[in-house]
Structure 1
Amino acid sequence: MSVATHPHNTYEGTGKPVHQDQDQPVPRETMMHHEVQVRRVQRHFLQSVCSCGWLGAARRSSPLAAEEGQDHAILFDGASTGIPSEGAE
């Protein structure tokens, strides 16, 4: 199976090859919004979680968990927003 006809390289499963200029950014309206929060895991750990399903590593430091989540949001959403904590001190 060639790359152009591989199911993962087609638009909405129509079988038509995707012709996307790799030098052009993906249009903002087609990008998934990434909303990241920091949540408490077990008793002593915090973890960044994203609306896309991404989970950061469990951290003992709230600022470190928030920074990791912010990095994820910037990398995949292109935007930096404040990361709300869920019960974190």
Structure 2
Amino acid sequence: MEALLPIIIQVVTGVIGGQAVGAAMSQAAMGQLPKILSGAIGGVGGGAILGSLLGGGAGVDPAMASGMGDMLSNVVGGAGGGAILTAIVGMVMKSMNKG
């Protein structure tokens, strides 16, 4: 369970970040499923990238996930990654609808 906790945190915060960006970009005409999926995938990716940049390798080693700093990097990386990927998906979907 300790190995899954960082991934669960990244998925949940990624979905939250994706929902926030999806609400802000209401003109992109995104449904809930693309926002949830892109937020979750971006959350895991963002959490892993931020964790590796900070030297933790978020989600890889359960012993590393025990500190408060690692949890904060999972939350920030997850929310940021989810928001960024959802914004990218929203822009792509918006440009496809114009065409």
TM-score by length of 2: 0.28
> 1 or 2 for the larger relative contact order (CA 8 Å, sep ≥6)?
2
- Quick check: which has more Rg, 1 or 2? 1
Q: Give the structure with the higher percent strand.
A: 1
